[in-house]
Amino acid sequence: MIAQIIVADDDEDIANLLSQYLSSRQHRIIVVYDGFQLAQKAAEHQPHLIITDVQMPGAYGSSVYQILQKDPKTKGIPMLFISAHPLEQIKNIIPNDPKTRFIQKPINFPALEKYIAELLPLGGYVP
């Protein structure tokens, strides 16, 4: 499975860790560090998946989700939300949608792989 994935996190260490991990799995990665960049790059590249921190400068990942849902070009992009906060604390801002998943930090990489497979059942991008 190869996909084009946007990784969005204001913590550069986490963004780089995810980017390196996903690149080692042959995915094509675009890294951004705030919600404004996320919305812009999602519209520009129309990735197969977005992995985003919930709380970021500029706009929360959940707010960007709402923006992307209004654009026909980005409406169907699945999103995997990540946060240091437990889901119970932030579940009111995570969209309840079959195209979304949540992982709490620190990242559990087997769970990450499972969610990617669920969100990209057709495999994403094949060059």
In a domain, 40, yes or no: yes
What average pLDDT is seen over the chain? 89
pLDDT reading at 1 higher than 80: no
Helices (H) and strands (E) in the chain, counts: 5, 5
pLDDT tens-digit readout, 39-65: 999 999 999 999 999 888 777 677 888
**In 3-state terms, what secondary structure has residue 100?**
strand
C-alpha closest to that of 3 among 18, 21, 23: 23
In a domain, 124, yes or no: no
pLDDT reading at 2 higher than 70: yes
Question: Which structural domain, as residue segments, surrounds residue 82?
Answer: 4-119
Instruction: State the pTM of this model.
Output: 0.91
In a domain, 73, yes or no: yes
Summarize the confidence of residues 11-29 as an average pLDDT: 95
Other beta carbons within 10 angstroms of residue 79's beta carbon come to 26
In a domain, 125, yes or no: no
In a domain, 81, yes or no: yes
In a domain, 19, yes or no: yes
